[in-house]
Amino acid sequence: MGTAVSLPLTLSTRKEDLLAIEIQDLFDAGAFWAQGRRIEDIELMIQMSNPVVSARIDNRLVGFTRATGDGVYRAVIWDVVVDPACQGQGIGRQLVEALISHPLMCAVERVYLMTTFQQGFYEKLGFVKNASTTMVLTRNT
């Protein structure tokens, strides 16, 4: 993993700083699981997620993550995405650290996330593999 970015990287937890089209472009470029999401759905996703963290370099969105939870017992991290051209510079680490230290997340007993290929990255941030059964209900959209 690269070192932390010392460029003019700006992190924000303000939903007002986010445009759905920017997130859609970021997803299309750097998130195989989130490509082709509709703008209307992204707008609702932003509205229903709390907290959100965005990363910008020169006012360009280069990273995004979000969480949902109850603020006490459980939370889930979703969509940790960094622009492929900016990966390896510590932006993902900064996004996750800002998210889990946010007042809505810092005291949560258990924080979950799902990842396909990045277990090593999250282990460096203190996450451990969970052997419990995961179940999912998938609806056709």
Assign 53 a pLDDT band (cuts: 50, 70, 90).
Answer: very high
Q: Is residue 45 part of a domain?
A: yes
What domain range includes position 15? 9-123
Q: What percent of the chain has pLDDT over 90?
A: 65
Residue 81 lies in a domain: yes
Cα distances (Å, whole numbers) of residue 3 to 10, 11, 30, 94, 127: 16, 16, 20, 10, 19
Residues in the chain: 141
Active site residue 122: yes
Pairing of strands 74-82, 110-113: parallel
- Could you tell me if residue 58 is inside a domain? yes
* CATH number for the domain that contains residue 43: 3.40.630.30
* Count of the separate structural domains present in the chain: 1
Query: Would you say residue 38 lies in a domain?
Result: yes
Q: Which of 122, 123, 129, 141 is catalytic?
A: 122
Is 128 contained in some domain?
no
What average pLDDT does the structure give for the chain? Answer: 88
* Whole-number Å distance between alpha carbons of 34 and 27: 6
Is the confidence at residue 3, as pLDDT, over 60?
Answer: no
Q: How confident is the model at residue 7 (pLDDT cuts 50, 70, 90)?
A: low
Asked if residue 21 belongs to a domain, the reply is yes
Residue 132 within a domain:
no
> Smallest Cα–Cα separation from 66: which of 122, 107, 14, 138?
14
Whether 131 maps to a domain, the answer reads no
Mean pLDDT score, 56-68: 95
pTM score of the predicted model: 0.85
